[in-house]
Amino acid sequence: MIEKLIILEDVDPVVFYGVRNVNLQMIKSLYPKLRIVARDNVIKILGDEELVAHFEECIMRLQEHCVTYNTLTEEVILDVVKGKGEWSVKGKGKKDDKVICYSVTGKPIKARSDNQQLLVDAFEKDDMIFATGPAGTGKTYTSIALAVKALKEKRIRKVILSRPAVEAGEKLGFLPGDMKDKIDPYLQPLYDALEDMIPAVKLQEMLEKHIIQIAPLAFMRGRTLSDAVVILDEAQNTTVAQIKMFLTRMGSNTKMIITGDCTQIDLPRSVRSGLLQALEVLNGVKGISFVEMTQKDIVRHKLVTRIVEAYDRYNNRIKEEEKEDAE
C-alpha cells in the first residue's frame, strides 16, 4: 500500500470534478479498490502501487484533455480509464489541426475566413504581426486565441494585453472609482474574449499571478517584455511616440500582435495615428507580417457588414463632393 498526492496545476478544479462532483464520483467508481480524497486542486490516493500508478497516468491524461478542451465529460473519463485511446469533445476522433483552442463550452475556435487564417499562419512564421481591418473581422479575438494556445502549450510564460485609453466623449477624471475602475471599461473587450476561452476560476488565478496581464498602454513604458505574447488592441488610437515605445518593449521569445481599424481613429485631428505611420515605416522589414482584413472577413451579425459598407459609401461620397468643391 502506498499513498500519493496529485496536484492539478493547469485546470480549474470545478471543471475537472464536474457539477456536483459528478466526474469525481465516476472516477472513484472506476477505482473501487483505491481510497480517493480530493480537495481543491489536490487529489490524495491510497492503495496498491500498480493501481495507483495507473490512476495517476489516467488523471494526467484527463488533465491534458481538460486543459485543451476546457471541458471534461463522463464519456471521456470512461474512454481514458478503459484505455480506448483517442478522444475529442464530440466523441472519438483525431484532433483538428485547424483548431486554435477551445472555448469554455468546448466549442472549437478556429479561423473563420481566409484572412483570419493568414493571421494564424503569420503568427507561426513571424514574431511581429500587424492585423488591420474594420470592426467585426475577428482581429482581437483570433489574436487572443493564438496567445491562449501558446500559453497552454507552454511556449511562453505570460500573455500581456494592452489598449490605449483614449477618451471618447467622457473624461477619465469624471468616471467613478479609482484608477482601475476608470480604466477597466477600455479593457473590457479583452476580458470578454478571455472569459470565452479560459474557465472563470482559472482566469482569475492567472490574473492574480500576472500570468495574464491586462493594462493600458501607458503602463508599458520602461518594461522589457520577454517570454510572452503581447497584443496591442485599437492601435489606431496610439500616437507616433506611443507605438514606437510599445514596439521597442519586445524582449526574447516574444511575439507581438498589433491590431487596429484605420477608419476608426479617435485621436484629435491634429494628432497623427501611430499605427498609420508604423504601417508605412515598417513595410518591408524582415520578420514583420502585415494582414489586412476586409468586409468579407466580418464574422459578427450580418448587419455589421451592411453598416460598414454604408459608412464606406458615405465617406466616399463626401470625399468626392469635397474634391468637386475644391476644383
Q: Could you tell me where the beta strands, DSSP code E, fall in 91-194?
A: 99-102, 108-110, 128-132, 158-163
Grid look-up 519586445 returns 250
pLDDT at 230: 96
Average pLDDT score over residue span 293-315? 79
Long-range pairs for 300-307: beta carbons < 8 A, 24 or more residues apart = 300/135, 300/136, 304/135, 304/136, 305/136
Q: What is the pLDDT of residues 170-218, one digit of tens each?
A: 444 555 555 566 667 778 888 899 999 998 888 999 999 999 998 888 8
Cell numbers representing residue 213 in the block: 496581464
- Distance from C-alpha of 84 to C-alpha of 82, rounded to nearest angstrom: 6
Q: What is the pLDDT of residues 128-183, one digit of tens each?
A: 999 999 888 889 999 999 999 999 999 999 999 998 876 544 444 555 555 566 66
- Distance from C-alpha of 92 to C-alpha of 215, rounded to nearest angstrom: 41
49-53, 143-147, 182-186, 235-239: least confident range:
182-186
Most confident region among 102-111, 158-167, 178-187, 283-292 by mean pLDDT: 283-292
- Distance from C-alpha of 327 to C-alpha of 322, rounded to nearest angstrom: 9
- Distance from C-alpha of 9 to C-alpha of 227, rounded to nearest angstrom: 20
DSSP string, 114-132: HHHHHHHHHHHH-SEEEEE
Count of residues for the chain? Answer: 327
Q: How many Cα neighbours within 13 Å face the side chain of 39?
A: 3
Residue ranges of alpha helices (H) inside 198-268 are 200-208, 240-247
Q: What is the pLDDT of residues 208-226, one digit of tens each?
A: 999 999 888 888 888 899 9
pTM of the model: 0.78
- Distance from C-alpha of 142 to C-alpha of 217, rounded to nearest angstrom: 20
DSSP state of 95: P
